[in-house]
Amino acid sequence: MSPAMRPSGRAVSRLADDWVERVRAASDVVEVIGQTVQLKRVGRNWTGLCPFHNEKTPSFSVNPDRQFYHCFGCKAGGDVFRFVQETEKVEFLEAVELLSRRAGIPIPERRPGERAVRAPLLEALDQAATAYEQWLADPECGRAARAYLEGRGLSSETVRAFRLGVAPDGWEHLSSRLAPKLGEAVLVQAGLAMRREGRSGIYDRFRDRLMVPLIGPGGAVIGFGARAFGDQQPKYLNSPETPVYHKGGFLFGLETARRHADAAGEVVVVEGYFDAIALHQAGLAHTVATSGTALTADQARLLRRAAPRVALTYDGDDAGREAMMRSLAVLLAEGLEVVVVDLPQGDDPDTLVRRGGAEAWRALRAGGYDPVEFIQRHVLRGGGPGDPREKALQMVVRLASEVRDTIRARLLLERASQVFGLPEAVLARAVALQRGGQGSEAPLKAAVRAQRRGGQDLEQTLLRALLLAPEALAAVRDRVELTDFQDDECGALAAWLWSGRADLPETGAEAALARELASGGSAGQDWVAEAVGAARRMVERRLLQRLKERKLELGRTPDGPETTRLMTEVDELARSLKELNAQR
């Protein structure tokens, strides 16, 4: 169990100097500038085209050791704050605030006005959380909710740590409890109550619901997620946007996950509050939830502050996988590494760890997919019209074109080149077109077609030779397997020939293919030699394909007996290929 998240109920106030230095420490100058300027490493420094004057050759240099930038052309220079001031056209404090938000560091309330607004809201939210907790503990009032939580397998320790509670059925349990002390206006502004229409007074926003406090920086309650017990709609009701709660800039569980992300090297991202709570309870305290909304760039930046990598673990259904595709794009664009933990159909993170504990998740994590592999699987599984390879490649190109970091974009294409067997240059060209606002479909389509035609040509060459020189069949059949045929029609005709029939098929697509191939061959050619040569190339193609697959698998398998097995297989495949080439 993770350490309990203690509510402070008060915004953390720090000395401004302390805050500025914290923000500076959390804002690497190379990383911040790298967001807007393409930087290349040269020795200890990074260089790029200066954003402050027009130039064709880089004279802009960033020094990571001194955390300074300098332009030899226009003499611009300074630290990370100066850079943000200059590029965003803001004052010093605003620049610090921008970087502070980016780093997920709470901004101290410097202005008396701001503090005057936030403090009472946070006080009201904290008191509301306490009230909901007490109602949950109440023998009568909390009975159904406790049974529900028990049914979900949540321990009382977890319930306490997350400060879960219940909003009783009724219109003004909370309002009548808090309004006399805090005033109606504050409750409305905190998103806890609503004004009655046409008459005076307020009523509770959350009624007959399980209450999940949303814990913000410093441990303060900044809002609530409220889950219905029965069939009430919506199933989840969240706090509205308030001066202290911004949905798109909040991640559930982050305050705790941040502390556990270092050891794990990554943050687990799930969709639902209860998925996150279940994973925390199972010992995976480096988990956050997006609260069921599409992941935003702000959230991705918060994640990047916590860890360099994200393990996406959404529901094992179409909606979950679609959501992962969208999140993937945002995370990659913000420079995060992503591993996709693809759950079995029908599972969600909660059911998975309830059944098999953290081990069940870890096993799936060990076999997680990188973005390119996930896209390939997702598109193949999705079906629908169009060539799946073309569609998958198109998605990869779109993703890569959004990645600003050139090295990361390059790695993505390298991977796609391995997985799809297309030259990296073709993909890089498609990305350049995409970035330039032109369509990248045509060049990709042409490359995929050419690749497929190449494969089909080989299979047809082999079949034609066998039709014209049936005596070669026995030798070819020993080496080439029916699964080696990728083209459906070629495969069907091969199956006919492999079965040993002397006549030709008379119906179906394979009949037409047989007629076409048999009539296309000229006499006087050595068709036996042709058949043997084509068979050899088919075997080579199979070995190369398997070698590629095993290497990919090896790349994502953690060290262990499985790696030894894969390495042995890779060695064997490489040897077979060598032997095959020696026979030439």
Binding site for Zn ion (CB under 5 A): 50, 52-53, 71, 73-74
> Are the C-beta atoms of 207 and 170 separated by less than 8 Å?
yes
Identify which of residues 70 and 551 has a Cβ nearer to Zn ion in the complex.
70
- The CB-of-318 to Zn ion minimum distance in angstroms stands at 50
* Closest CA relative to residue 136, chosen from 108, 168, 114, 104: 168
- The CB-of-71 to Zn ion minimum distance in angstroms stands at 3
- The CB-of-39 to Zn ion minimum distance in angstroms stands at 14
- The CB-of-557 to Zn ion minimum distance in angstroms stands at 47
* DSSP structure class, residue 58: -
H or E segment and range at residue 488? helix 488-498
Identify which of residues 73 and 533 has a Cβ nearer to Zn ion in the complex.
73
Identify which of residues 24 and 70 has a Cβ nearer to Zn ion in the complex.
70
Other C-beta atoms lying within 10 Å of the C-beta of residue 501: 9
Identify which of residues 87 and 557 has a Cβ nearer to Zn ion in the complex.
87
* Closest CA relative to residue 488, chosen from 518, 512, 465, 520: 512
- The CB-of-35 to Zn ion minimum distance in angstroms stands at 18
> Are the C-beta atoms of 431 and 400 separated by less than 8 Å?
yes
- The CB-of-57 to Zn ion minimum distance in angstroms stands at 11
Identify which of residues 39 and 395 has a Cβ nearer to Zn ion in the complex.
39
Q: What is the DSSP string of 257-321?
A: HHHHHHHHTEEEEESSHHHHHHHHHTT--SEEE-TTSPPPHHHHHHHHHH-SEEEE---SSHHHH
Identify which of residues 32 and 277 has a Cβ nearer to Zn ion in the complex.
32
Identify which of residues 19 and 60 has a Cβ nearer to Zn ion in the complex.
60
In 3-state terms, what secondary structure has residue 46?
strand
- The CB-of-488 to Zn ion minimum distance in angstroms stands at 59
- The CB-of-80 to Zn ion minimum distance in angstroms stands at 17
Q: Which two tokens stand for residue 13?
A: 């106030």
CB < 8 Å & 24+ apart, contacts of 545-552 = 546/573, 547/573, 547/574, 547/577, 548/418, 548/421, 551/418, 552/373, 552/418, 552/419
Burial class (CB in 10 A: 0-12, 13-18, 19+), 80: buried
H or E segment and range at residue 362? helix 349-366
Identify which of residues 72 and 92 has a Cβ nearer to Zn ion in the complex.
72
